[in-house]
Structure 1
Amino acid sequence: MSRPLRIAIGGVHIESSTFSPHLSTAADFEVTRGDALLARYDWLTLPWAEGVEWIPLVHARALPGGAVEAAAYEAWAAEIVDRIAASGPLDGMLLDFHGAMSVVGRDDAEGDLITAIRSALGPRPYVSAAMDLHGNVSQVLFDGCDLLTCYRTAPHVDVWETRERAARNLVEALHRGQRPHKALVHVPILLPGEKTSTREEPARGLYARIPEIEARDGVVDAAIWIGYAWADQARCQGAVVVTGTDATAAADAARELGERFWAARDEFAFVAPTGTMDECLDTALAADPARRPFFISDSGDNPGAGGADDVTFALERLLARPEIRDGACRAVFASLVDPQAVAQVAGQPVGSAVRVTAGGRIDAREPGPLVLDGVLEAVADDPDGGRCVSVRVGGLSVFLTSRRMQYRLLASYARLGVEVDAVDVVVVKIGYLEPELFDAAGDWLLALTPGGVDQDLARLPYRRVVRPMFPLDRDFTPELTVVLG
Structure 2
Amino acid sequence: MAPPRVLIGQFMHETNTFSIQKTGTDAFARVLLHEGPAMVSALRGTNSETAGFLAVAEAEGWTVVPSVAAIATPAGPVTAEAWDRLGLAIARTAAAEGPFDGVLLALHGAMVTELDDDAEGALLAAVREAVGPDVPVGVTLDLHANVSDRMAELSSVLCPYRTYPHVDMAEAGERCARLIGDAMAGRTRPRTGGARRALAEGFDHGRTDAGPMLEALASAAKAESRPGILATSVCAGFSSADIAFMGPSVAVSYDAGVAGAEAAARAIAESLMDFCVEARAHQGNTYLTPDAAAARAKVHESGAHEAGAAKPMVIADYADNPGGGAYGDATGLLKAMLDAGLRNACFGAMVDGEAAAALHAAGEGATVTLAVGGKVDPRFGGDPLTLTGTVERLTDGRFVCDGPMWRGIAKSFGPSGVLRVGGVRVLIVTNSMQITDVQQFRHAGIDPAAMATVGLKSMQHFRAAYQPLADEVLVCDTGALCSPDVRNRPFRKLRRPIWPLDPDA
TM-score clears 0.5: yes
* Unaligned segments of structure 1, at least 5 residues: 477-485
Residues 367-378 of structure 1: pairs in structure 2 closer than 5 A: 367-378=382-393
The one-letter code matched in structure 2 to 1:353 is T
Aligned to 2:321: 302
Distance in 2 (alpha carbons) for counterparts of 1:177 and 1:211: 21
Question: Offset of 1:374 from its aligned partner?
Answer: 1.0
Post-superposition shift, 1:46?
4.4
What per-residue deviation string (whole Å, max 9, x for no partner) do you get for residues 238-288 of structure 1?
Answer: 11111122222322322222222222212x2134x3211122222222234
Equivalent of 2:339, from 302, 305, 320? 320
Instruction: Give the structure 2 partner of residue 436 of structure 1.
Output: 465
Cross-structure match for 1:65: 75
Cα pair 1:20 1:363 within 8 Å, conserved? no
Pick closer, same or farther for the CA change 1:7–1:22 going to 2, 3 Å: same
- Residue in structure 1 matched with residue 494 of structure 2 by the alignment: 465
Corresponding residue for 1:475? 504
Alignment of 1:28-427 (within 5 A): 28-29=27-28, 30-39=32-41, 40=43, 41=51, 44=54, 46=56, 50-176=60-186, 178-191=188-201, 195-245=205-255, 246-266=261-281, 268-271=282-285, 273-287=286-300, 288-289=303-304, 292-321=311-340, 323-324=341-342, 329-365=343-379, 367-383=382-398, 384-427=412-455
| 48-57 or 401-410, which deviates more | 48-57
Q: Quick one: which amino acid aligns to residue 120 of structure 1?
A: A
* Partner deviation per Cα, 1:41-81 (whole Å, 9 max, x = no partner): 25535489524222111121122222222211122233222
Aligned equivalents of 1:450, 1:168: Cα separation in 2: 43
Q: State the distance in 1 between where 2:180 and 2:39 align.
A: 19
- SS of the equivalent of 2:183 reads helix
The CA deviation string for residues 399-430 of structure 1, in whole angstroms up to 9 with x for no partner, is 11121122322222222222223322221111
Which secondary structure state, in structure 2, belongs to the residue aligned with residue 376 of structure 1?
Answer: strand
Q: When the two structures are superposed, what TM-score results if normalisation uses the length of structure 2?
A: 0.87
**Larger deviation, residues 3-12 vs 218-227:** 3-12
Aligned counterparts of 2:276 and 2:383: Cα–Cα separation in 1: 40
User: For 1:468 and 1:283, how far apart are their aligned partners in 2?
Assistant: 40
Counterpart in 2 of 1:22? Answer: 21
C-alpha distance in 1 between matches for 2:9 and 2:484: 32
Alpha-carbon distance in structure 1 between the residues aligned to 2:223 and 2:313? 40
Distance in 1 between residues matched to 2:75 and 2:138, nearest whole Å: 25
- Distance in 2 (CA, whole Å) between partners of 1:382 and 1:192 is 36
How far is the alpha carbon of 1:333 from its aligned partner? Answer: 1.6
| Structure 1 position 301, deviation (Å) | 1.1
Which residue number in structure 1 is paired with residue 258 of structure 2?
none
8 A contact 2:204–2:212 mirrored in 1: no
Deviations 1:429-466 (A, max 9, x none): 11123311111111111111222212121222122211
In structure 2, what is the Cα distance between the partners aligned to 1:68 and 1:43?
25
CA contact (8 A) 1:233 1:464 kept: yes
Percent of matched pairs sharing the same residue = 31
**SS state of the match for residue 335, structure 1?**
strand
**Count of residues paired in the alignment:** 468
Does the CA-based 8 Å contact 1:21-1:452 persist in structure 2?
Answer: no
Give the partner amino acid of 2:283: A
- Relative distance call for 1:49 and 1:393 in structure 2 (3 A) is same
Does the residue aligned with 1:142 lie in a helix, a strand or coil? helix
Question: Shift of the alpha carbon at 1:152?
Answer: 0.7
Cα contact 2:19–2:76 (8 A) shared by 1: yes
Cα distance change, pair 70–369 in 1 and its aligned pair in 2 (3 A)? farther
Give the secondary-structure state (helix, strand or coil) at the position aligned to 1:304: helix
Distance 1:208 1:97 in 2: 24
Q: Does 1:455 align with 2:481?
A: no
Q: 1:154/1:392 Cα in 2 relative to 1: closer, same or farther (>3 Å)?
A: same
Deviation at 1:109, TM superposition (A): 1.4
Specify the SS of the correspondent of 2:9: strand
Contact 2:202 2:276 in 1 (8 A): no
| Structure 2 counterpart of 1:481 | none
Give the C-alpha shift of residue 199 in structure 1. Answer: 0.7
Does the CA-based 8 Å contact 2:56-2:177 persist in structure 1? Answer: no
Letter in 2 for 1:447: C
Moved more, 196-205 or 176-185: 176-185
How far apart, CA to CA, are the structure 1 residues paired with 2:499 and 2:145? 17
Output the CA distance in 2 between the equivalents of 1:309 and 1:295. Answer: 17
- CA change 1:382–1:434 in 2 (3 A) is farther
Root mean square deviation, CA, Å: 2.1
Q: 1:445 aligns with which of 470, 474, 478?
A: 474
**TM-score normalised by L of structure 1:** 0.91
CA contact (8 A) 1:102 1:109 kept: yes
Give the conservation status (yes or no) of the 8 Å contact 1:391–1:398.
Answer: yes
Post-superposition CA distance 1:123-169 (Å, at most 9, x none): 22121110001011111111211111201111111111001111111
In the alignment, the residues of structure 1 paired with residue 503 and residue 104 of structure 2 have an alpha-carbon distance, to the nearest angstrom, of: 38
Which stretch has the larger CA shift, 8-17 or 419-428? 419-428
CA contact (8 A) 1:10 1:94 kept: yes
Instruction: Give the whole-Å Cα distance in 2 for the aligned partners of 1:416 and 1:204.
Output: 36
Query: Runs of 5+ in structure 2 lacking a partner?
Result: 44-50, 256-260, 399-411
